[in-house]
Amino acid sequence: MRFNVLKYWIVLAGCLPSFVMAEEPVIAVIVSAQAAYSVPVTVNDLAPIYWRKKLYGNQGRPLHPANLSTEHPLRQRFSQQVLHSSPKAQLGYWNGLYFQGIQPPYTVESQEAMIRYVAYTESAIGYIEACKLDERVRALVWLTANKIQSEPPVLHCDTGN
């Protein structure tokens, strides 16, 4: 009897998927690398910029924040870490500001679209997976799984495509 129970558990354990916790990607908050201007952004600036409470940079230029689509996992995480709410919970807020003439951040559908928007739009700011950084943009702030920081963390990027 013990042998059958042990055999049953061994077979059952072999059928179960092995769950490996995937490491959360580091999110890089980005601005254009080519721009002659500087968008000085600190950890404390992110929420007011994305809530559209800070509309202009230090040099008087209008800031143009961009979001990924509402369902994108990076948008979900960015919203939770920086804005302390979900994208869906923000809809009422944006509906109220719309009638005051304040538009929500521009929305793009992919990380490549985010890079292009930020690289070629003056005073734009956005976010992507840090491992997707390229010469078109530069990172100002980093979001790891548990904190927001201004110093770049150690990245573990998969370079084999």
pLDDT for the residue 36? 57
In the chain the first and final C-alpha atoms are separated, in Å, by 50
Kindly report the pTM of this predicted structure.
Answer: 0.82
Q: Is the pLDDT of residue 54 over 90?
A: yes
pLDDT for the residue 21? 41
pLDDT tens per residue across span 74-133 = 999 999 999 999 999 999 999 999 889 999 999 999 999 999 999 999 899 999 999 999
CA distance 122 to 129: 21
38-149 fold: D-Maltodextrin-Binding Protein; domain 2 (3.40.190)
pLDDT for the residue 35? 66
Task: Give the pLDDT band of residue 9 (cuts 50, 70, 90).
Answer: very low
CA distance 87 to 100: 20
* Residue whose structure tokens are 């951040």: 105
Are the C-beta atoms of residues 140 and 26 closer than 8 Å to each other? no
* Average pLDDT value for residue range 10-37: 64
Domain boundaries, the chain: 38-149
Higher pLDDT, 58 or 53: 53
Q: Is the pLDDT of residue 158 over 90?
A: no
Exposed/middle/buried for 121, CB within 10 Å: 0-12, 13-18, 19+? middle
| Other Cβ atoms within 10 Å of 1 Cβ, number | 5
* Average pLDDT value for residue range 8-12: 40
Q: Is the pLDDT of residue 14 over 60?
A: no
pLDDT for the residue 1? 52
